[in-house]
A and B are shown apart, each in its own frame.
Chain A
Amino acid sequence: MTALVRARGLVRAFGGRRAVDGVDLDLLPGRRLSVVGPNGAGKSTLLRMLATLLRPDTGTIELVGHDIGARAQRARPHLGYLGHDPLVYLDLTAWQNLELFGDLYGVPALRERIPEALSRVGLLPRAHDPVRTFSRGMAQRMGIARLTLHEPTLLVLDEPYTGLDAQGARLLDDLLAGFSTGGRGAVMVTHELTRAVELADEVMVMRAGRSVGRMETAGLGAAAFADRYRELTS
């Protein structure tokens, strides 16, 4: 079985400080991994490397069977990346944004797919309004529509619940639940320990650029994990 993510010995430094320092990571299809840790632990840097936005100084990453050092472009169609922000153009309408990203990802039957995607996130009535006129929560839901339009195999999510309204949070919960099937998977950085346990199959704890603990969430309650997290990060 081809791993969705296979990373070995990842190191990335900024100005002499190692933000990520020798991290190994594997994610098999049907699995969801939460990455937690205090501020400055290197979570977002790790995620940006997995999203092909940063190259590691040393180490290798294979995404969906493609070595991204040599063939990042082949891995990118399989990735869906969402950060703190919706990553859409505020001055374009919701429809125009999805049209753009649909074309960039080569999505077939785009005219049918766009209303479906907007309907899923409850934004179809606002399809032709500029995203700038949306509330923060609506804009983040727009980001979810962009994220899922091309049906990615691997979700790479960096604090995706930031700014989401209740409807958006439910949508994202459901989306992540769906990524435990069909050969898909997800890696999510979050500060919310409860969500990290409830929405993932595994949790990885990072501190000072290193992975200091990795555990299955099955049978692990949020309270027990919070205790374990404090031990690992103190």
Chain B
Amino acid sequence: MNPAMARQLRALLTKDLRLELRTRETAVAMGLFALVGMVIFQFAIGTRTDDATPFAGGIIWATLALTAVLGVGRTWVAEREQRVLDALLAAPVPRLVLMSARAVALVLYLLAVQVVVVPLAMIFFVREGSFADLGLTVVVCLLADVAIALVGALLASMSVFSRARELLLPVLLLPSLIPVVIAAAGATHAVLGPAHALDEYWRYCVFLAVYAVVFGLVAFATFDHILDD
């Protein structure tokens, strides 16, 4: 990435964060959604079992995957509603920079949600969690967020010109996130569960990293064409 592209990326990211700080329409909605999801799981599962630790990884990542759908669905909304998309597309911005800015913004929103949700989930569902476990869970969050953000930014951009995008996006995104949910839930369970299986944890982390790299390469190869009509 050359200095001009870095300047464009920084400008787009600053714009996204400024819009979010002013409108609070994405991260706050995602956070509230995730909190409500946690509370529902607490009533549905937490109150019906003495030890919900084996379910914690699944609960966290099912909630976060659905939350991510909400966040990805908000991608390009300001551009469409405020009719700015033409100005962005007519500007000399490589499409890969546009997508990278989207992906980085999504990672930041997901991390902001996880700062609240993951500790809360540990309180609700994990019987004997520790700070070391939380640290290892942060690594899972980072890897899974990058994977989710890359897939999300790619699919959101593919559906931006579609009239049925509100329907299309979840239908495309959720199946694409199944491998991420399986791996992230597996890694979280491995580290939070009673077995504390670190070998298994690292295998899942490698899978998440490979998934992110593969979708990163797909995005790199295709994104220039996706937004160009």
Q: Are A83 and B91 in contact (CB under 8 A)?
A: no
Q: Which residues of B contact A77 (CB under 8 A)?
A: 92
Q: Are B22 and A106 in contact (CB under 8 A)?
A: no
Q: Are B92 and A73 in contact (CB under 8 A)?
A: yes
How many contacts between A and B, using CB within 8 angstroms? Answer: 75
Stretch at the interface among B8-16, B115-123, B137-145, B185-193: B8-16
Indicate whether B83 reaches chain A with its CB closer than 8 angstroms. Answer: yes
Known: A89-B15, A103-B7, A106-B7. A76 touches B91 (CB 8 A): yes
B interface size (C-beta, 8 A) = 27
Instruction: State which of B7, B19, B92 has its C-beta within 8 Å of the C-beta of A76.
Output: B92
Instruction: State which of B11, B12, B84 has its C-beta within 8 Å of the C-beta of A88.
Output: B84
**Distance from B66 Cβ to chain A, minimum over Cβ atoms (Å):** 26
7 pairs from A and B in contact (CB 8 Å cutoff):
A76-B90, A77-B92, A87-B87, A88-B87, A91-B78, A104-B88, A130-B22
B residues 146-193 in Cβ contact with A at 8 Å: none
**Distance from A73 Cβ to chain B, minimum over Cβ atoms (Å):** 6
Q: Are A89 and B11 in contact (CB under 8 A)?
A: no
Indicate whether A232 reaches chain B with its CB closer than 8 angstroms. Answer: no
Indicate whether B112 reaches chain A with its CB closer than 8 angstroms. Answer: no
**Distance from A114 Cβ to chain B, minimum over Cβ atoms (Å):** 13
Indicate whether B49 reaches chain A with its CB closer than 8 angstroms. Answer: no
Cβ contacts B87-106/A at 8 Å (1 or 0 each): 11111111000000000000
**Distance from A106 Cβ to chain B, minimum over Cβ atoms (Å):** 5
Distance between Cα atoms of A88 and B86 in the complex (Å) = 10
Distance between Cα atoms of A88 and B78 in the complex (Å) = 10
Indicate whether A55 reaches chain B with its CB closer than 8 angstroms. Answer: yes
Known: A53-B89, A76-B90. A91 touches B82 (CB 8 A): yes
Query: Which of A's residues lie within 8 Å of B, judged by CB?
Result: 51-55, 72-73, 76-77, 79, 81, 83, 85, 87-92, 96, 99-101, 103-106, 130, 146
Distance between Cα atoms of A52 and B88 in the complex (Å) = 11
Q: Are A92 and B15 in contact (CB under 8 A)?
A: yes
Cβ contacts B6-42/A at 8 Å (1 or 0 each): 0110111011001100110000000000000000000
Known: A87-B84, A96-B18. A103 touches B229 (CB 8 A): no
Q: Which residues of A contact B88 (CB under 8 A)?
A: 104
Distance between Cα atoms of A101 and B90 in the complex (Å) = 11
Distance between Cα atoms of A106 and B92 in the complex (Å) = 9
Indicate whether B4 reaches chain A with its CB closer than 8 angstroms. Answer: yes
* Residue with the highest number of chain B CB atoms closer than 10 Å, among A81, A88, A100, A101: A100
Known: A91-B78, A100-B11. A79 touches B19 (CB 8 A): no
Known: A92-B15, A100-B11, A103-B8. A83 touches B93 (CB 8 A): no
Q: Are A105 and B87 in contact (CB under 8 A)?
A: no
Q: Are A91 and B22 in contact (CB under 8 A)?
A: yes
Indicate whether B228 reaches chain A with its CB closer than 8 angstroms. Answer: yes
Residue of A nearest to B94 (CB): A73
Distance between Cα atoms of A77 and B14 in the complex (Å) = 21
Q: Are B18 and A104 in contact (CB under 8 A)?
A: no
Q: Are A103 and B11 in contact (CB under 8 A)?
A: yes
Q: Are A52 and B90 in contact (CB under 8 A)?
A: yes
Q: Are B87 and A101 in contact (CB under 8 A)?
A: yes
* Residue with the highest number of chain A CB atoms closer than 10 Å, among B8, B12, B19, B87: B87
Q: Are B84 and A89 in contact (CB under 8 A)?
A: yes
